[in-house]
């Protein structure tokens, strides 16, 4: 859902965006790639000998499994079928790229299983016709979810606290030339106020609670999807939390149990 900008004529950050006090790598501006354009193009494929992962049939088989799991939003399923997940995992793991499993991406982090990614994107998109406006992603990881978000949103601000993963995501996404994606290196706990307000915020790491800056940066009418601790009785378990920001206040809804890496502050 594209939301009005309450800041009026305030100039938005340019591409690529930068965080104060931290240097980020800059790339030459490229023409925007829309979902419709991407849908009509043959994906540029990394050559991986001995595996037929470049075939769209492999991705469509994954999408069919997602549908059997109950996923149903066409725009999200289309995105899942367009973005090649095997591009975002290590070469040694490409044969598992389209299985419904999480995989290590280095530095103690993982790429979430397709079912969880699709579920969170559907929760973010649910009830919102058309493309979302600006969205903030906390935890870029290898860049897979940022690529999916690029097909669902007008702008994506994705922040990663680990330099190694930030660089990996930049390399993984370069071939797609997604001019509507800002990759940021920095601490995601404070969010990214320069890009606010956001139509949506989605997090790939879970803490004890949703940080207040994220809620502050969510636009009225916007939605936040993040894993949080299940509480003292949860014995370290997590649940998905959906937060809607309405004119009357914040509405929270607890969803199913999940397992994400812990939310941390600082950079490394």
Residue 48 pLDDT greater than 90, yes or no: no
Q: Which residue has the higher pLDDT, 3 or 63?
A: 63
Per-residue pLDDT tens over the stretch 236-258: 799 999 999 999 999 999 999 99
Q: pLDDT grade, residue 116 (50/70/90)?
A: very high
Percent of the chain clearing pLDDT 90 (strictly above): 76
Extents of the domains making up the chain: 35-39+49-258
Max mean pLDDT among 7-11, 16-20, 124-128 falls in: 124-128
Q: What is the mean pLDDT of residues 185-207?
A: 97
Q: Which tokens in the block code for residue 199? A: 């139509």
Q: What is the mean pLDDT of residues 91-99?
A: 95
Report pTM.
Answer: 0.82
Q: What is the mean pLDDT of residues 214-218?
A: 98
CATH architecture of 35-39+49-258: 3-Layer(aba) Sandwich (3.40)
Residue 31 pLDDT greater than 70, yes or no: no
DSSP secondary structure code for residue 184 in this structure: E
C-alpha–C-alpha distance, residues 184 and 166, integer Å: 8
Q: Which tokens in the block code for residue 246? A: 């309405």
Residue 268 pLDDT greater than 70, yes or no: yes
Q: What is the mean pLDDT of residues 167-183?
A: 97
Q: pLDDT grade, residue 203 (50/70/90)?
A: very high
Residue 106 pLDDT greater than 80, yes or no: yes
Can you give the pLDDT at residue 32? 38
Q: What is the mean pLDDT of residues 205-220?
A: 97
Q: Please report, for the chain, how many H helices and E strands are present, in that order.
A: 7, 9
Catalytic residue among 25, 56, 102, 112: 112
Residue 174 pLDDT greater than 70, yes or no: yes
How many CB atoms lie under 10 A from the CB of residue 22?
A: 13
Distances (CA, A) of 252 to 94, 223, 243: 37, 10, 5
Can you give the pLDDT at residue 101? 97
| Range in 91-105, 145-159, 231-245 the model is least confident about | 231-245
Can you give the pLDDT at residue 29? 35
| Range in 18-22, 68-72, 104-108, 141-145 the model is least confident about | 18-22
Strand ranges in the chain using DSSP code E only, listed in sequence order: 103-106, 109-111, 132-138, 153-160, 181-185, 198-203, 218-229, 238-246, 249-258
C-alpha–C-alpha distance, residues 22 and 267, integer Å: 10
Clarify whether 55 is annotated catalytic: no
């Amino acid at each position: 859902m594209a939301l009005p900008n309450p800041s009026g004529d305030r100039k938005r950050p340019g591409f690529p965006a930068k965080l104060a006090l931290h240097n980020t790598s800059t790339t030459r501006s490229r023409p925007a790639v829309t979902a419709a354009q991407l849908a009509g193009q043959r994906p540029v494929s990394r050559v991986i000998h001995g595996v037929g992962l470049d075939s769209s049939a492999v991705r469509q088989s994954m999408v069919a499994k997602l549908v059997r799991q109950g996923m149903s939003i066409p725009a999200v399923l289309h995105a899942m079928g367009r973005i090649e997940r095997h591009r975002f995992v290590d070469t040694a793991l490409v044969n598992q790229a389209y299985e419904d499993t999480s995989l290590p991406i280095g530095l103690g982090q993982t790429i979430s299983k397709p079912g969880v990614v699709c579920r969170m994107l559907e929760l973010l998109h649910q009830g919102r016709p058309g493309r979302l406006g600006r969205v903030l992603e906390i935890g870029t990881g290898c860049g897979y979810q940022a690529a999916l978000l690029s097909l669902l949103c007008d702008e994506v601000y994705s922040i990663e606290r680990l330099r190694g993963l930030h660089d990996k995501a930049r390399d993984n996404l370069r071939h797609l030339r997604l001019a509507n994606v800002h990759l940021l290196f920095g601490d995601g706990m404070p969010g990214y106020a320069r890009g606010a307000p956001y139509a949506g915020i989605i997090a790939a790491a879970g803490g004890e609670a949703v940080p207040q800056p994220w809620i502050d940066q969510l636009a009225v009418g916007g939605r936040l999807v993040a894993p949080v601790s299940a509480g003292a009785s949860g014995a370290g378990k997590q649940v998905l939390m959906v937060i809607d920001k309405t004119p009357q206040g914040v509405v929270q809804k607890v969803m199913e149990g999940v397992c994400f890496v812990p939310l941390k502050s600082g950079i490394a």
